[in-house]
Amino acid sequence: MRNLIPLVILMLMIPVGASDVQTCGVCHPDVAKNFTKSLHYTNRGIIEKWNQGVGTDLNVPTPNKCLSCHIENCSTCHRIHKTFPNMTVCINCHIKRIGVNYIGYLAGMKEKAPNPDIHYVHNMTCFDCHSIDEIHGDGKSYSTAELAVKVRCEDCHMNPRAVVKSVKPKQYDPTVLAHSIHKDRISCYGCHVGWYQTCVNCHLENMKVESKTIDEFHLVKGSDGKLYPACRMFVFYGDKSSRVWCLIHPHTITKGKECGECHNKEEEVFGVGEIGKVIPPGSSFAEPPSSLVVTVPKVGIGIDTEILVGIIIGGTLIGICIHYLKRKVTVGGE
């Protein structure tokens, strides 16, 4: 009992209106300190992305509505002391896109989506991929989620020792033709994303969008040189407008796309002729592929498929001609 007295006195000294992070910090000082630097607490990721694109174009600060997900109190997620929050808590905040998309719904849980994420189908929750340090913060201040989030597909799918919920994840197979063609060219998300939501024409005067669609699919080049899915944002404010293409990481992973979904729609997918900036910095529009190069497994030789097809067609025609000439000579000799 005596040991509790100093703790009670210390807690009483905290202002009534203060964030409960201070209260929780009495027992969990390191976690509380790290959390105040996390993107969940600061919303810096949203602010940085806004300033990189629309904010700079239109000279407008980040709208308060965009900052409404700010988590100031530990109790927002930890509603019962000593109880680990379930995934529903994550979805209640990430209800506009990532959270609900992951479980197979559109924004606000109003409509069913084409498919949930394959990881959700296999009973994985947010916490099976995202570490506590990613959620609470690791004590460093990051400007974007791309920098703060450390988990990568390769952590499980290129790691034979990985085990998630007693299940061994399917391993990346370099002999798969699509993998051989796109290795080092396209991110895992770029091919395995099922769909994602895009807002059509956002008007800042009333913070309304004209509609939303899941039919758009675009690829931009990230700072690492690989292609990633992107959302295009057309934003209007009075007589000003902004066009921004934002690299994203959708949580709707499924089987890989068919070749034609990109290569038969190259102008649309790669934004040929489009204008606007690509964010975050270091990202850019990508040139549509002029050809496909297949690397022969175990040999390491790259073969341009357009040339290969030409050789096959040319060889076939030559073979037909030789066969025809042989028959003609044979018939003539008889």
Give 183-226 pLDDT, tens digit per residue.
Answer: 889 999 999 999 999 999 999 999 999 999 999 999 999 999 99
**Among positive and negative, which fits the CA dihedral 313, 317, 322, 323?**
positive
Instruction: Supply the pTM of this predicted model.
Output: 0.81
List the one residue out of 132, 142, 135, 131 whose CA is nearest residue 45.
Answer: 142
SS3 194: coil
Strands (E), the chain: 198-203, 208-213, 218-221, 227-237, 240-247, 277-279, 284-285, 293-295, 302-304
At 162, the amino acid letter reads A
What is the C-alpha to C-alpha distance for residues 180 and 166, in angstroms, rounded to an integer?
Answer: 30
Per-residue pLDDT for 8 more than 60?
no
Burial class (CB in 10 A: 0-12, 13-18, 19+), 283: buried
Judge contact between 78 and 85, C-beta under 8 A: yes
The pLDDT value recorded for residue 305 is 57
What is the C-alpha to C-alpha distance for residues 212 and 194, in angstroms, rounded to an integer?
Answer: 16
The model's confidence at residue 14, banded by pLDDT at 50, 70 and 90, is: very low
Read off the pLDDT of each residue in 144-161 and give the average, rounded to a whole number: 95
The pLDDT value recorded for residue 308 is 58
Per-residue pLDDT for 5 more than 80?
no
What is the C-alpha to C-alpha distance for residues 69 and 89, in angstroms, rounded to an integer?
Answer: 12
Judge contact between 220 and 286, C-beta under 8 A: yes
Percent of the chain with pLDDT over 90: 71
What is the C-alpha to C-alpha distance for residues 214 and 110, in angstroms, rounded to an integer?
Answer: 14
The pLDDT value recorded for residue 109 is 92
CA neighbours within 13 Å on the CB side: how many for 127?
Answer: 10
